[in-house]
Amino acid sequence: MPELPEVERGRRLAEQVAAGRVIAKVKCARDPIVFEGVSQARWRRALAGRRVIAVHRRGKHIYFQLDERPWPVFHFGMTGGFVTPDGAALRLASSPKNDIERAWPPRFAKIHLVFDDGGELVMTNKRRLGRIRLRSDPLSEPPLSGLGFDPLLDLPSPASFVELLRRRSAIIKPLLLDQSFAAGVGNSIADEVLYQAKIDPRRRAASLSEAEAKRVRSCLKRIIEKAVSVDADKKRFPRAWLFHRRWGKNSEAVTYRGEKIRYITLGGRTTAWVPEVQR
């Protein structure tokens, strides 16, 4: 579920269901990993009876602004997401749902909220790499306080982006993945940005020319905005995107234009790139 566009979709879903409502009922799974050891009782005390003023996102984190603090902060990990009983907003893809997918509350539900108007929202997390935390001021406390710019909320100007890269000795691909640099960029978006910007992912950030750095910034902006505008629905991503063809580490894989896709590891992550295009 987890790069910025999917998290933004989750934020919109949560906002739709929760904003303006009072939390009538709170059910938490017994899961000390996802809840970082915070008890079910503490969660109930913090959320029950609270009104949700708004739902915010920064990077891959979502947090609820409640009428009283602390506020809940959600991170989906690699396999989490928000689900509602109809499931519509979150499963645009899978048309006829089977009984397991239709189950309510769904399998792997970690927190289940019921609102005063009858609406319901669940956060699921299959592999338990997601986290649900309580923070009295999310933006000024970890992990949100350590995030870099969010490409949708506060993307630096072209000039300051160029400056940002010039100061970094890091390799560009892992740098894009570094949440303290750019919050919300994940593995596939980083590859997409470097492909469309025509940059070799192994290059040092500081070695990019001004024009190249500006290309990285504009591709990042365009790709994120596009993915968000189609509600992170992968089928609606433009056909020319590397995204559709990067999976599987297939040695035969080619882009939409027939260019050969190669796979290397950078910063511990699989990196798909196109040597013919990326210099």
Active-site residue identified among 5, 8, 60, 138: 60
Count residues contacting DNA (CB under 7 A)? 36
CA distance 128 to 107: 13
Amino acid, res. 27: K
Catalytic, 106? Answer no
Catalytic, 5? Answer no
Of the candidate residues 98, 140, 169, 251, the single one contacting DNA (CB under 7 A): 169
Catalytic, 260? Answer no
C-beta closer to DNA: residue 23 or 189? 189
Residue 129, both tokens: 């790499």
C-beta closer to DNA: residue 18 or 189? 189
Of the candidate residues 21, 50, 56, 59, the single one contacting DNA (CB under 7 A): 59
Pick out residues in 179-198 that bind DNA (CB under 7 A): 179, 186-188
CA distance 246 to 228: 20
C-beta closer to DNA: residue 52 or 172? 172
Q: Alpha helices, DSSP H only, in the chain?
A: 4-18, 40-47, 99-102, 158-166, 172-177, 187-196, 210-229
**Helix (H, G, I), strand (E, B), or coil: what is residue 243?**
helix
CB 76 within 8 A of CB 10: yes
Q: Does residue number 128 form part of the binding site for DNA (CB under 7 A)? A: yes
CB 205 within 8 A of CB 175: yes
Give Dmax (Cα) for the chain: 58
> End-to-end alpha-carbon separation of the chain, Å?
31
Choose the binding region for DNA from 50-58, 66-74, 167-175, 216-224 (rule: CB under 7 A): 167-175
Q: Does residue number 57 form part of the binding site for DNA (CB under 7 A)? A: no
Of the candidate residues 1, 208, 216, 253, the single one contacting DNA (CB under 7 A): 1
Of the candidate residues 45, 166, 249, 260, the single one contacting DNA (CB under 7 A): 249
* Cα-to-chain-centroid distance, residue 95: 23
Residues near DNA (CB under 7 A) are 1-3, 6, 33, 59-60, 75, 77-78, 126-129, 142-143, 146, 168-171, 174-175, 177, 179, 186-188, 247, 249, 265-270
- Which amino acids are annotated catalytic? 2-3, 60
